[in-house]
């Protein structure tokens, strides 16, 4: 895992497995894949409960999120909404309920198996204004100034080049548009060996960056009114930690000040681009 291409291939492989599994099986593993790294307990240490949200469809919920971005996204009727890392369609279908028949929902996912599952779910629901496109969110298959709202749930931490993703979000949003994104971030340093563990990377922990750096990237991309809508501490059970850390390392980790958290961040693209750079889409901003 020493370059971006290898990391992307890891994520694609893991989430292709996940796309073929049930929510219960995914939730039974800390990494959301086939590894039984969480012991015998069935739980998901990151996911929030979607079941009370209008538009929720259980067939589309694989238990992979770490927040409820659509709940905070201020989606209005008729909006065009893009869901980054759309998976089986969970957030896209909740967004569709809010945007209504006149809205347009576009889900983008890196994994062919996820796209197939999402399209199958959309067909079952009879939605003709929900579309799923396979693509890399570092280079979105979407024209500039397309979306009123962008949402994403526990996906950007898996992307090696977060600067590029937020640059793409800026490009694709309409002037005056906004995003609400849930993601995993850190305060303090993870044990070094975690960053070499495939399961933890695909499960969103080892791919996370410092909270201050994450918010700084958003600001550097040109967004305004950056707001933390939610900040939830993620507590990893000892049964998981023991799979990767020795007794001594576990004790040292628990004594430290490292905090893993799920944050939901809101930010707006200015109605007027005052960054004094070149034309949108040219890649220099």
Q: What is the CATH number of the domain that holds 62?
A: 3.40.50.150
Residue 224 phi, psi (nearest 5): -120, 170
Number of domains in the chain: 1
CA distance 173 to 273: 12
pLDDT at residue 64 in the model: 78
pLDDT for position 27:
47
Task: Please state the φ and ψ torsions of residue 265, each to the nearest 5 degrees.
Answer: -115, 135
Instruction: Show Cβ contacts of residue 35 under 8 Å, excluding neighbours closer than 6 positions.
Output: 29, 199
Each residue's pLDDT expressed in tens, for the chain with a length of 285 residues: 457 676 666 665 665 566 555 555 444 444 343 333 333 332 356 778 888 899 989 888 887 788 999 999 999 999 999 999 999 999 999 999 999 999 999 999 988 999 999 999 999 999 999 999 999 999 999 999 999 999 999 899 888 899 999 999 999 999 999 999 999 999 998 887 776 665 665 566 767 899 999 999 999 999 999 999 999 998 888 887 888 888 998 888 888 888 989 999 999 999 986 655 555 554 555
Residue 39, in any domain of the structure = yes
- Assess if residue 275 is contained within a domain: no
Q: Where are the beta strands (DSSP E) in the chain?
A: 80-84, 104-109, 130-134, 147-153, 173-187, 209-210, 224-233, 259-268
Confidence at residue 277, expressed as pLDDT on a 0 to 100 scale: 56
Strand 224-233 relative to strand 259-268, pairing: antiparallel
Is 274 contained in some domain?
no
- Residue 220 belongs to a domain: yes
Backbone angles phi, psi at 245, to 5 degrees: -120, 145
Task: Find the domain containing 25 and state its range.
Answer: 4-268
Domain-embedded: residue 43: yes
Specify if 284 maps to a domain: no
Domain contains 282? no
Reference 184, options 110, 105, 258; nearest CA is 258
Q: Are 186 and 211 in contact (CB under 8 A)?
A: yes
What is the pTM assigned to this prediction? 0.83
> Residue 49's pLDDT is what?
86
Q: What is the pLDDT of residue 39?
A: 36
In a domain, 91, yes or no: yes
Q: What are the tokens at 86?
A: 């759309």
Let me know: does 187 contact 261? Beta carbons within 8 Å: yes
Please spell the DSSP secondary structure of 39-105, one letter per residue. TT----SSPPP-TTSTT--GGG--S--SS-HHHHS---TT-EEEEET-TTSHHHHHHHHHH-TT-EE
Alpha carbon distances (Å) from 253 to 140, 185, 247: 38, 17, 10
- Say what the pLDDT of residue 256 is: 84
């Amino acid at each position: 895992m020493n370059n971006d291409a290898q990391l992307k291939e890891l994520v694609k492989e893991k989430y292709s497995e996940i796309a073929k599994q049930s929510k219960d099986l995914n939730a039974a593993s800390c990494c959301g894949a086939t590894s039984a790294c969480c012991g015998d307990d069935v739980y998901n240490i990151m996911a929030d409960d979607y079941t009370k949200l209008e538009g929720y469809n259980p067939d589309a919920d694989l238990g992979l999120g770490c927040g409820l971005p659509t709940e905070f996204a201020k989606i209005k009727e008729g909006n065009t909404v893009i869901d980054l890392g759309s998976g089986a369609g969970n957030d896209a279908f909740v967004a569709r309920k809010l945007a209504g028949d006149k809205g347009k929902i576009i889900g983008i996912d890196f994994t062919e198996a996820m796209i197939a599952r999402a399209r199958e779910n959309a067909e079952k629901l009879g939605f003709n204004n929900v579309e799923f496109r396979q693509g890399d969110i570092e280079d979105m298959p979407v024209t500039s100034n397309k979306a009123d709202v962008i949402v994403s749930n526990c996906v950007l931490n898996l992307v090696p080049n977060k600067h590029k993703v937020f640059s793409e979000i800026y490009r694709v949003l309409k002037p005056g548009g906004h995003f609400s994104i849930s993601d995993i971030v850190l305060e303090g340093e993870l044990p070094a060996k975690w960053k070499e563990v495939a399961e933890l990377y695909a499960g969103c922990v080892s791919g996370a960056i410092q909270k201050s750096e994450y918010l700084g990237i958003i600001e550097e991309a040109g967004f305004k009114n950056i707001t933390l809508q939610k900040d939830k501490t993620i507590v990893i059970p000892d049964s998981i930690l023991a799979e990767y850390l020795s007794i001594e390392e576990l004790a040292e980790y628990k004594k430290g000040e490292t905090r893993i958290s799920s944050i939901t961040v809101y930010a707006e693209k200015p109605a007027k681009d005052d960054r004094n750079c070149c034309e949108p889409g040219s890649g220099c901003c």
